[in-house]
Amino acid sequence: MNVSRRHLLKAAALGSASLAAPHIVGRAFAAEPIKVGALYSQTGNLAVAEKLLANGVSMAVAEINATGGVLGRPVEVVVEDGASDPKTFSEKASKLIVKDKIMTVFGCHTSASRKAVLPIFEKRGAMLFYQTHYEGFECSRNVIYSGAVPNHQLGNYIPWIVKTLGKKKFFIVGSNYIYPREMAKVSKKLIEAAGAQWVADEYLELGHSEWAVMVKKIKESAADVVLSNVVGDSIIAFYREFKNQGISQADIPICATVTSEIEIAAMGADYAAGSYTSFPYFMSLDMPGNKSFIERFRKFVNDPKQVTYHSLEAAYFQVFLWKQAVEKSKDLGAEGIRTGIAGQSYEAPGGKVTIDADNLHCWLTPRIGQWQADGQSKVVDAYPHPIKPLPYFAYGETESNLFCTSKGLDTAKLKI
Candidate residues 93, 120, 161, 237; the one interacting with other proteins per rule CB under 8 A: 237
Q: Is residue 376 a contact point for other proteins (CB under 8 A)? A: no
Q: Is residue 48 a contact point for other proteins (CB under 8 A)? A: yes
Considering the complex, state which of residue 208 and residue 413 has its C-beta at the smaller distance from other proteins: 208
Closest CA to 150 of 413, 409, 395: 395
Kind plus residue range of the DSSP H or E element containing 59: helix 47-66
Are the C-beta atoms of residues 221 and 209 closer than 8 Å to each other?
Answer: no
Distance CA 148, CA 176 (A): 20
User: Taking the complex as a whole, how short is the minimal distance between the CB of residue 270 and other proteins, in angstroms?
Assistant: 7
Considering the complex, state which of residue 189 and residue 208 has its C-beta at the smaller distance from other proteins: 208
367, β-bridge pairs: 382
Candidate residues 16, 164, 176, 398; the one interacting with other proteins per rule CB under 8 A: 176
Instruction: Quickly list H helices, 83-233.
Output: 86-94, 111-124, 150-153, 157-163, 178-193, 212-220
How many residues touch other proteins (CB under 8 A)? 43
Long-range contacts of 136-139 (CB under 8 A, 24+ apart): 136/182, 136/390, 136/391, 136/392, 136/393, 136/394, 137/182, 137/391, 137/392, 137/394, 137/395, 138/391, 139/359, 139/391, 139/392, 139/403, 139/404, 139/408, 139/409
Candidate residues 208, 296, 328, 413; the one interacting with other proteins per rule CB under 8 A: 208
Binding positions for other proteins, 100-119, rule CB under 8 A: none
Q: Is residue 62 a contact point for other proteins (CB under 8 A)? A: no
Q: Is residue 265 a contact point for other proteins (CB under 8 A)? A: yes
Q: Is residue 250 a contact point for other proteins (CB under 8 A)? A: no
Neighbours of 384 (CB within 10 A): 6
How deeply is 302 buried, as exposed, middle or buried, from its count of CB atoms within 10 A (0-12, 13-18, 19+)? Answer: exposed
x/- letters, 296..325, toward other proteins (CB under 8 A): -----xxx-x--------------------
User: Taking the complex as a whole, how short is the minimal distance between the CB of residue 231 and other proteins, in angstroms?
Assistant: 12
Q: Is residue 272 a contact point for other proteins (CB under 8 A)? A: no
Candidate residues 226, 254, 262, 319; the one interacting with other proteins per rule CB under 8 A: 262
User: Taking the complex as a whole, how short is the minimal distance between the CB of residue 311 and other proteins, in angstroms?
Assistant: 14
User: Taking the complex as a whole, how short is the minimal distance between the CB of residue 80 and other proteins, in angstroms?
Assistant: 17
Q: Is residue 374 a contact point for other proteins (CB under 8 A)? A: no
Neighbours of 78 (CB within 10 A): 14
Are the C-beta atoms of residues 225 and 248 closer than 8 Å to each other?
Answer: no
Distance CA 81, CA 109 (A): 12
Residue type, 157: Y
Candidate residues 71, 194, 266, 382; the one interacting with other proteins per rule CB under 8 A: 266
User: Taking the complex as a whole, how short is the minimal distance between the CB of residue 386 and other proteins, in angstroms?
Assistant: 30
Are the C-beta atoms of residues 228 and 255 closer than 8 Å to each other?
Answer: yes
Of 4-12, 67-75, 107-115, 200-208, which part binds other proteins (CB under 8 A)?
A: 200-208
List CB contacts of 260: < 8 A, sequence separation 6 or more.
277, 279, 309, 310, 311
User: Taking the complex as a whole, how short is the minimal distance between the CB of residue 316 and other proteins, in angstroms?
Assistant: 18
Q: Is residue 214 a contact point for other proteins (CB under 8 A)? A: yes
Binding site for other proteins (CB under 8 A): 43, 45, 47-48, 51-52, 176, 202-205, 207-210, 212-214, 216-217, 233-237, 240-241, 243-246, 262-263, 265-268, 270-271, 301-303, 305
